[in-house]
Amino acid sequence: MKMKLVLLAIITCVVASLSDYLVSASSKLTLSIMGKSNCSDWMSVLRLVYITELPPCPCTYSQAINDDKFILSNFLIDYYHNGAANCFRAPSQTSLSESGQQCCYGDDGNILIGIEQNGGTADAYSPDGVKNFGRHIWYDVLPWVACCELGNRETCEIYYQFRPSDDCLEYRGPVYTN
């Protein structure tokens, strides 16, 4: 029984790291085929969508898990938000915007903010459903690869300037109505 669990844990780790590796390799390949590996190639894309009307992030994991607006979404966070234990997403609260908030938390449950902590980043297009998934890749993911993974501190700062981490200072908690 114990052996099986250990084996399962090993397989899970291998598959998880392989998926990180595959995502990394395929997005880099995509950028190089497109000739858009430099962060500066993505400036117009980053500028094009103005992110607005996003709910502020809860300051802790327990606040987030208790707020219905926020949905736990840990897919590939080891790759995009290395060091985060959990990330949540919340779509824009107005129908006019298709952007989305992302909030990430460390092992201690506290929010992670900015480049140093690989904090959550607002998305121009929240990757909910099929409709926005492609646009999420184009407007949020590929620029991140070019600016943060392939770029340097300075270019990654540009990314976070356009796709910022929310610092949770405005968070007020869910409003319950009967």
Ligand X SMILES: *[C@@H]1O[C@H](CO)[C@@H](O)[C@H](O)[C@H]1NC(C)=O
Judged by the rule CB under 6 A, the positions of this chain that interact with ligand X are: 38, 40
Written as one letter, the residue type at 167 is D
Q: Which residue is nearest to ligand X (CB)?
A: 38
Q: Is the dihedral of CA 46, 34, 100, 165 positive or negative?
A: negative
Q: Compute the least distance from the CB of residue 47 to ligand X, in Å.
A: 15
Residues 6+ apart with CB under 8 A from 155: 39, 40, 146, 147, 148
Q: Compute the least distance from the CB of residue 148 to ligand X, in Å.
A: 14
Q: Compute the least distance from the CB of residue 38 to ligand X, in Å.
A: 4
CB closer to ligand X, 49 vs 146: 146
d(CA 36, CA 40): 8
Burial of residue 57 (CB within 10 Å: 0-12, 13-18, 19+) is: buried
CB closer to ligand X, 27 vs 102: 27
Contact 122, 104 (CB under 8 A): no
d(CA 173, CA 153): 33
CB closer to ligand X, 24 vs 38: 38
CB closer to ligand X, 19 vs 38: 38
Q: Compute the least distance from the CB of residue 57 to ligand X, in Å.
A: 32
